[in-house]
Each structure stands twice: as structure tokens, then as C-alpha cells.
Structure 1
Amino acid sequence: MERLAMKRLVAWKESPYRKPLIVKGVRQVGKTWLLKEFGRRHYDNIAYFNFDENPEYRDFFISTKDVSRIIPNLAMAGGQEINPGKTLIIFDEVQDCPEVLNSLKYFCENAPEYHVASAGSLLGITLAKPSSFPVGKVEFLTVYPMTFQEFLIATGSMNLAAYLDQIDEIAPLPEAFFNPLAEKLKMYFVTGGMPEVVSRWVETQSVGQIQSVLQDIINAYERDFMKHPETKEYPKLARIWNSMPSQLARENKKFLYNVVKEGARAREYEDALEWLVNAALVYKIFRINSPGLPMSGYEDLSAFKIYLADVGVLRRLAKLDPVAFREGNRLFTEFKGALTENFVLQSLIPQFDASPHYWSRINPSYEVDFVVQRENDIIPIEVKSDTNIKSRSLKKYAETFAAQTKLRVRFSMNNLRLDDGVLNIPLFMVDQADRLMGLALRGKIES
């Protein structure tokens, strides 16, 4: 299958300022496969070292920091030739190997001719500790679940993917494209973007197989909870994780600790929640009081929403049967559109430098699902899971912050159009959101 992150890896390889690379991402998102496939396509050979399967390799990094000694030892132990610029060196499962991570500093400073990439499950937790990696001596690449665009390519709909890529004006899509894209999106809500799930669907066309692989992934995540250094945190992690469908099924999706457990307090559970965030299992989206730059300066740290890294995992965790995809737009609207919001968020995050936020007001109640920063523009986004597009909150936001609001965006199952300052984007075009916003803003300036 084709991953868009491959282009980022090629740019890393060709950069004259290349540094050792650390690849991050939730477990089973395809980090190792991506690095191996990149090495297969763009290098003479790969030197692969897995520090979970071969913990003895760590000794080479403990005994010396001299790269000229480390490389021959690795080459002999692994029986693999390592040549500068021609071999991709992959250090895998390095999350428990501080010596290996620290060695990247010496590869950067003393042996930049070697191309080194590191990855590992739960690596984000390790990197959350400031002493775990050499600041300024490495580059980072985050691998996300497969986008809907990648799903189209993987499932043989290259024509639909190519069509979406070439759209260069804000105008309705013909039904010949709109309808099959809408149907494909339903299937994506069933599979999600975890590569093994998509691959199994392509191979078998079996919903039962999808269910089984997703459950295996969820089980693997839950086993990871036991790797928290504090044993007492394990039940808390499990409670937060299992509360996710209930949190998102609420009308107001603000995260509440008493949904996790009756009487629960923030101070009891905030460390466990932060572990899930660092493990890339969930996204934490803060409320803003008003749209200003930088948005982080306007955050209300006491109010936030939590979403899962993948819509397919959320659907399976919520035990929503895939049969729903045959019932009109039910998958999009199920438990108050939570799947749709999760899908939109996971698609927006890779497109924008700053993390999305949300805006809300009480008495009377208004809430805009997401607010993103695009260059120096702050853009409110509302997510509608069907064709009903009444947007009282989006309208209130525009009235309240008229001077800061050049464009409003709505995702729905309606066609692409720009109407009275509101850009309606079909849900299946969320991967093109950044580009479409740019087209809409340029159109407003030119007009």
C-alpha cells in the first residue's frame, strides 16, 4: 500500500541538513513497515536492529559512544553490511533503550554520513521525559493512521483519489464522483486507518476479519497499559479508555472525570490521561475562550475533549456493528456523530502545525467543534454528520468574533460550495481541507 509519509522520508534522505530521524506514532500504525519499505525502495540495503528481540545489541551503546566502533559491532552482530549513504540503518523498539537514543547525538555530530532512523511502540512516552533524547540533534516524523485518501488508493480506487487531488475550484462535485466517494467513506468508518485492518479488508473483503484484527489491536493497546511504571495506574488507564465511547456520546463532549468513575477527581486521573496522550492513543483538544494568536495563549486548561487516534478503533471499542454502514448515513450519525467528529479531527491534525482547539459558551449554550490556525488565520469548523446543516453555533461565533473571522468551515454530507462566508466541505474531502480553505480565502481576497 502507499503511504503519503513516504514523500517526507524521501525529502529527509535528500536534505543536506539531514539529522538522525525518530519516527513516532501509535502502536501498529505502520512505522516499521514504512521504514523498511522506504529502505527497500531508496537504498542499496537495510541494516535492521530490533532492541526488543535482541536486547544484547544495547551493549554496543553502553560500552562506547564512538560511532566508528558502534557501526562495525552492529554490522558483525547483525551480519549486515553498513555503508554511508547507501544503507538505511533502522533502530527499532528503542523506547526502553536510552543509550541508543542518546547515541543519535553522536551520529549527528560525528558521523552524519550514516542514515539512521529510529522507531518504537510507546516511544512518545519515553520522549515525554526531557532527558530521553538529544535536543536539536534529531528530526521527528509522526506517522498517523492511513488517511481516507490512502484508503482509496489501497482499496483500488486510485481514480477517485486522483480526482480529489486535482480539484482546484470551489464547485459542486458531479454525482458520478460524489456518490461512490460517500459509499467508500462508510467503509472507511468500518475499517479505520490502521494498516493491518485495511490490508485485511483488501485481501479478504470480510467484515469478520476486520472485527477480529481491530479487537487484536485494542487488546494490544490494553496490554500496553501494564507497562506504566506505576502499577496502581493500570486500572485508571483502563477506566479512561473504556469510558471513551460514553464521553463522546454526550451532547457536550467535554471530558468529564466522573464519567470515568463516579466521584473521580482530576488529580486522581490526570497522570493516567497524560500517559494515554503521550502514547498517541488519544488526542486532547483544549477549549479556547476567544480566537487569538497563538491559540495556546487563549486555552482554558480545565476544559478539553478527548478523541481516539483512529475512527475504526473507536467504532470497535464502542461495539458498533459494521452492519450500520448499509443503513443510509447511520454510521456518520451514530452516538451523536461521535465517529464523524473523531474522523474529522484525526484528518485535520496532520494538516496543520498547531493542534486544533474548540470554542464554547454557556448560557445560552454554543459550541464550535474545532478551531484551527491556518497560517495567520483562525478558522472555526463545525462537523455535521448528515445533510442537516443548521449551524447556530457557527453563526454565533462569527457574530461574536466578526473581525477575526474571514472564513467559516462546515463538514457535512452536502456538496462542496462556498455560501455567504461558509465553506461546506463533503466529509470525504477532509484530507483536502487545508488546500480548499486556501482556495476559498484566495477567492474572497480576489473578489
Structure 2
Amino acid sequence: MLVRRVLAAFHEWLADDGGKALLVTGSRQVGKSFLTNTFARDNFSRVVAFDLLEQPDARDSFNQATNAADLMLRVSLASDVELVPGQTVVIFDEVQECPAVVSFIKFLVQKYDYRFILSGSLLGTRLRAIPSLPIGYVTELKMYPLDFQEFCQACGVSAEFFDVLQQCLDDLRPVPDFIYDRFIDLWHRYLLVGGMPDAVAHFVETGDMDVVRRIQGNIRQLYAQDIVKYAPDELRLILADIFQLIPAQLSRQNRRFQISDLRDVKRFTQVDQHFLWLEAAGVALPTYNVSAPIFPLLAGVKRNLFKLYSSDVGLLNSAFPKTMLSGILQPNTAINLGGIYENAVAQELHSKGYALRYFSSKKIGELDFLLEDASGQITALEVKSGVSYRTHAALDKALAEPKYTIDRAFVLAETGRGARPNIETQGQVTYLPIFFAALLGS
């Protein structure tokens, strides 16, 4: 069984006396249904669960409810389990198919001594159409693909090893070689497999990448079908183009998304809603350019200049030929893997709650990521996939610019080549192993 750290948040919700419903969101196939149902069975004596996509009779009945009492009547009639106050959890899975449930959840948690869990995909796009969102009556919990630490634990690595890595980061001392080698190998495998639970489970069980790639391809196909099924009519054709273009865009030296590559599109204003839809659906991770590395970064965001990463690096790689990906496992490969490495780092940062931003200017060059913490400190982050990771002209120029407020600068790479330590600081720049992306913000 895969260990998901988000399970702790489920238990926090259960212990909360506020009685709010739990709203579990996230893109398709990240494990929402499995984790929700497993948690419910482990913590409640009575579980009433509806899959509103697979149970059309229940869905149609609930959508006809006129108020909360009418909805609960319909729930009790549709359930094979007796609802007992104080002992029952009611799960509405794929709730995007049943807006009535979301509309009435405020009254359900106020009137009934049951716990309610709502889960679904595409909620960021579908809930906009609901006139009465239950603000203040739900605890929202967003799920992501497995991050690198969860992937490592699925591969049999003890969580204590991450404590060792964290201590190395805190003290800025090198990681022991045997640990470093193990985690670099796992990082390469994570790039191939990604974090979709089904893909990870099959990889751990069989190690068969052909099976894993079939799973990944099926998920990509499901995402494409969702665009056709759920996106507004006027957005569908271009949304499909954007989704299919993500791998090609990230293969370029300049990974900024080129609007000119879209058919019949001349200006960003023609497609701005398309990118917002993909972000809200959890399919893509836009990373916006900022005018300068100056606090607050939000004030300088240029929403028309951005990179577009995949929500999962494994899904990204499933779009590439298998022969190309063999280079990931071979050190010093001549294949440009920069976009793949950046995607994996973006995925880690996003799962930790960071807003994804970068900086690019003709005078300075490009900084891959700019992170801003709660105290307002700005960290410049460079991601290097090749051997020349100590060459970073743009970062050097940015650090030398007095008006920029960069507090820390990290280079993430496959460090420790030759006689060099795998963690070291030279001037204002600290070099860290690439897998330390999993520790930033933890």
C-alpha cells in the first residue's frame, strides 16, 4: 500500500469539532477515491459511499433534491447502509457530477450528526457554475501525485533517510556517498515513473516500464477526454492543442510557452481563459514570469509570459519516445533533459504550496524559479541537468544587481562530480543535490 502523507490532514479534519465537510480535490487518478474510502473504512463503523459518475440513478435523484432534507431522504433511500448519527460518514465521490450536493452541504453539516466527504476531479472548473458555494462549511484538501519522498517510500526507503537529508540541508554538509548514490538512482526512476499512484504501484510491483507507460498513456488520454467532455464549447479545440503541445514546448532551449504555435491564435488575450482552465483542472502547472526578483513577487507577475509544466513528470515523459528516455538512466547523456528536470522540480514546489514563478530578461538572462516564503524572503533556484552545473551567468548577474532582493541562491543538480562535495557553498550560491527539491518548503 502506498503511503500518502496527506492522510495526516484527513485525521486533522476528523479531530476537528467544527463539523465541517471535507472537500478532497485534485486532478484525475491521483488517488482521491482510494484514500478517501480507505480512511472512511478505517475510522467509521458505517460508511455510505456514492460514486456519482458510476451511479447515474443516485446522481439523477440527488440532483432533483429541492433542499437539504429532501437530499438526505434521497440519500437514505439510495443507501444499503443504515445511517446512524455519530457513527456514519457519507461520501459523495465525483461530486462535480452533482452540483446539488455542493449547494446543500452547508445545511447538511448544520442539521445532521453525520460526517460528510466530497471528492472529485475538475472541481476548480466545475464549481464556478454553482451559485452558492459553502464557504466556511467545508475544509478543502488538495491532493497531488506522489511526491519524490512518497515515491521513495513506495520503493522501500525508510522515512528516516529523509531526516538525514534534512539534517544535511540544515547544516550544509555533504550527504554520505552511499545515500547520495541511492537517491540519485531513485530520482532518475521518479522522472520516468512520476507520481500517479497506479503507475507507481505497478512499477514497484513489476519494474515493467512498458506497463507503466501504458498506464500513463491511458491517463493522458483520459485528460484529453475530459477536455472534450467538460471544457466550455468555445475553449475545447485550443485547449486540446495546448495540452498536446506541452511536451514539445518543454523540449526547447527556451521553455516559455509560445502562443504563436497555436493554430489561429495571434494574441494572448484570445487564450488566457484556456490556460486558467488547465490550471484549475489540475492538468498543467503555469509558471509565470515576474518583472524583477523583488518582494513582493506577486506585484511583478506577467501573466502573458509563462512556462507550462505537466502536473506529473511521468505523464510528461510518457509523451516522448521510449528510446529517448533511456538517457535518463545514463549519466553524462547528450540528450537535453532540462525541461524534464525542471518539470519534476516544479511539481515538488507546487505540492509544497509554492506559487510557481520565474524571471527572464534580456539584460540578466533567466532564473528557473523564484520562491517567496511567508517572511518575504526570496530564493533564486536554478535547475541543472548537465555536468556544467557551476556555470550560471544569469544567477551571477542577478545576485550582483543591488536593486534585486534575492536572499538565497540554490543550484539543484547532480552535484559531487569529481572530487567536489555534493553540497557546497561558493560565494552567494549553494549547490545542492537535485533530489533536495523534495526538502524545500518542508
User: Same fold per TM (> 0.5)?
Assistant: yes
Q: Find the aligned partners of 1:18 and 1:153 in 2 and give their Cα distance.
A: 33
The offset of 1:326, in angstroms, is 3.2
- Per-residue CA deviations over 1:103-154 (Å, capped at 9, x if unaligned) read 111123333x422111112222113446362223222111011011101111
Aligned to 1:340: 341
The offset of 1:203, in angstroms, is 1.8
* Alignment of 1:325 onto 2:328: yes
* Alignment of 1:424 onto 2:431: yes
Aligned to 2:8: 7
Aligned to 2:308: 306
Q: Quick check: 2:387–2:414 contact (8 Å CA) kept in 1?
A: yes
Instruction: Please provide the CA RMSD for this pair.
Output: 2.3
Say which structure is richer in helix: 1
Aligned to 1:439: none
Aligned runs of 1:247-326 on 2, under 5 Å?
Answer: 247-261=249-263, 264-321=266-323, 322-326=325-329
Q: Can you give the 5+ residue segments of structure 1 that lack an aligned partner in the other structure?
A: 436-447
2:250 counterpart letter in structure 1? L
Give 3-state SS (helix, strand or coil) of 2:171's partner.
coil
Q: Quick check: 2:95–2:118 contact (8 Å CA) kept in 1?
A: yes
Q: Find the aligned partners of 1:104 and 1:214 in 2 and give their Cα distance.
A: 34
Give 3-state SS (helix, strand or coil) of 2:305's partner.
strand
The offset of 1:232, in angstroms, is 4.9
Give the direction of change, closer, same or farther, for the CA distance of 1:225–1:63 in structure 2 (3 Å limit): closer
Give 3-state SS (helix, strand or coil) of 1:382's partner.
strand
Q: Quick check: 1:246–1:259 contact (8 Å CA) kept in 2?
A: no
Aligned to 1:217: 219
Q: Find the aligned partners of 1:18 and 1:329 in 2 and give their Cα distance.
A: 55
Aligned to 1:367: 366
Give the direction of change, closer, same or farther, for the CA distance of 1:214–1:60 in structure 2 (3 Å limit): closer
Q: Find the aligned partners of 2:246 and 2:252 in 1 and give their Cα distance.
A: 10
Give 3-state SS (helix, strand or coil) of 1:238's partner.
helix
The offset of 1:5, in angstroms, is 0.6
Aligned to 1:184: 186
1:383 counterpart letter in structure 2? V
The offset of 1:329, in angstroms, is 5.1
Aligned runs of 1:37-436 on 2, under 5 Å?
Answer: 37-58=38-59, 59-60=61-62, 62-67=64-69, 70-71=71-72, 73-111=74-112, 113-129=113-129, 131=131, 133-158=133-158, 160-161=161-162, 163-164=164-165, 167=168, 168-261=170-263, 264-321=266-323, 322-328=325-331, 330=333, 334-352=335-353, 354-362=354-362, 364-376=363-375, 377-389=377-389, 390-401=391-402, 404-414=405-415, 415-435=422-442
Q: Quick check: 1:356–1:373 contact (8 Å CA) kept in 2?
A: no
TM-score normalized by the length of structure 1: 0.89
1:304 counterpart letter in structure 2? F
**Aligned residues, how many?**
429
Q: Quick check: 2:147–2:351 contact (8 Å CA) kept in 1?
A: no
Segment of structure 1 superposing worse, 369-378 or 9-18: 9-18
Q: Quick check: 2:21–2:138 contact (8 Å CA) kept in 1?
A: yes
Aligned to 1:22: 23
The offset of 1:186, in angstroms, is 0.7
Aligned to 1:443: none
Q: Find the aligned partners of 1:229 and 1:211 in 2 and give their Cα distance.
A: 26
Segment of structure 1 superposing worse, 399-408 or 23-32: 399-408
Q: Quick check: 1:128–1:278 contact (8 Å CA) kept in 2?
A: no
Q: Find the aligned partners of 2:402 and 2:67 in 1 and give their Cα distance.
A: 55
Segment of structure 1 superposing worse, 416-425 or 219-228: 416-425
2:140 counterpart letter in structure 1? F
The offset of 1:88, in angstroms, is 2.7
